[in-house]
Amino acid sequence: MDEADRQLLRRSRVRLVSELQVAPLWDALLNRELFTPDMIEDIQQAGSGSRRDQARQLITDLETRGRQALPLFISCLEDTGQDTLASFLRTSRQAVKRDPEAIRSLDLVPEELHAIKLDPAKPAPGNLTPVVLGPKELRPAALRPETPRPVDVGSGGFSEACARDRLRGNVDLAYVLSAEPCGHCLIINNVSFSPTSGLGARSGSNVDCEKMRRRFHSLHFNVEVKCDLTAKAMVQALVQLARRDHRALDCCAVVILSHGCQASHYQFPGAVYGTDGRSVSVERIVSVFNGTSCPSLGGKPKLFFIQACGGEQKDHGFTVAHASGDRVSGSNPEPDAVPFREGPRTSDQLDAASSLPTPSDILVSYSTFPGFVSWRDTSSGSWYIETLDSVLEGWAHSEDLQSLLLRVANAVSERGIYKQIPGCFNFLRKKLSLRPKGAGALTLPHPRPAAASWRQ
């Protein structure tokens, strides 16, 4: 789908979700080969399965269905008697084709989000009464003369009470990982892909997988490894993990090693490929573990580590005064992505429902910035996993997870001729400190000479 059609769909999303009748569309979408039966089934199961959730998922997935997706969808609307929406999309599309700037003038903002304009000469709507704040009301309570100030009265006084409160607060702001095992860790390692997928084998990924298996075992996790899964099998494995009873456990971790790509998203960017060339969005992966689907993990940290490309851009970096790292001439690391194609095979999206619960107690760590490739050595594994493993080995006994991931980002950013910067979406409510069974000295990857095992 070209960018103009994609932008039109996104700007029309509110109206489409509100008015679209999905039930009559299924046969029309199948007849015009816009979606496969399995994809229709995925859309029907989106979110709560309501009409709005299905409509929202349908519009999101439509972006991935090729260059003619929008005109074919408009024809499906006409076939099912939804002429008002069909006419709206067709007219808007024609206007945008004539003048690309016309899309900015489309009034597609939901009415409930329009700001209420108040006329000072008229009473406020409903039962609302304007309140005029004077100088006294605007002053912070702590600075008002009538507010008593705390006084340090020595032993047992205000300062010691504050110190006790701070200590108690520090404990309250840390997750407790005392269970044995600490939790389940699922590693999905996709190495060999179907020839029809257009995706190459991920040499070196088995090295990453073994490092993560050993590392999370040393962190008191019960580790399970699944290899070479299709997109549907990936979702099934995640659902099976979410349906386990986690009540006696304190945490859950998911590590995914695969090719990846950009994907439409609302909260979490990116998608990872199954071995069949179909992709599963990171949003879909995270949503499997929300409070509704996995209540036994409610309030407990859920960690996701994604080693996959976030897109096709290659970062050459920029010059700084004290840059370091292995800018080795002639080395060609291999990216975990392939050129994006809009054909039906490689861009089928098993995307997530847009309405996720409040994403608390979730951390998603990405190997690279959204839109950029993630590099992997075909003999020693990916930059991100190699560095993550080394940092966990050297520092997990003394630092919280967020500090560890900062170390990972800094170390990876200094590597290679092409550059890479890991990052994370952190919705944890507290600090998380892992419990290594043993701690060793930090051993970050060292610059290595160019080798034949590095290829692009």
Reported as type and span, the H/E element at residue 415 is none
- First-to-last alpha carbon distance for the chain, in angstroms, is 27
∠ CA 452-453-456, rounded to 5°: 95
Yes or no: say if 100 and 384 are a contact pair by the CB < 8 Å rule. no
> How is 356-425 classified by DSSP, letter by letter?
PPP-TTEEEEESS-TTB--EEETTTEEHHHHHHHHHHHHHTTTS-HHHHHHHHHHHHHT-SSSB---EEE
Residue 164: how many other CB atoms lie within 10 Å? 10
* Residues 72, 70: Cα–Cα separation, whole Å: 5
* Residues 43, 102: Cα–Cα separation, whole Å: 31
Rounded alpha-carbon distances, angstroms, from residue 446 to 33, 390, 416 = 51, 11, 11
* Three-class secondary structure of residue 7 per DSSP: helix
How many angstroms from the chain centroid is the CA of residue 240? 20
* Three-class secondary structure of residue 279 per DSSP: strand
Strand pairing category for 381-382 and 375-377? antiparallel
* Residues 438, 121: Cα–Cα separation, whole Å: 72
Closest CA to 353 of 30, 22, 23, 47: 47
* Residues 326, 303: Cα–Cα separation, whole Å: 30
Which residues are catalytically annotated? 259, 309
* Residues 83, 74: Cα–Cα separation, whole Å: 9
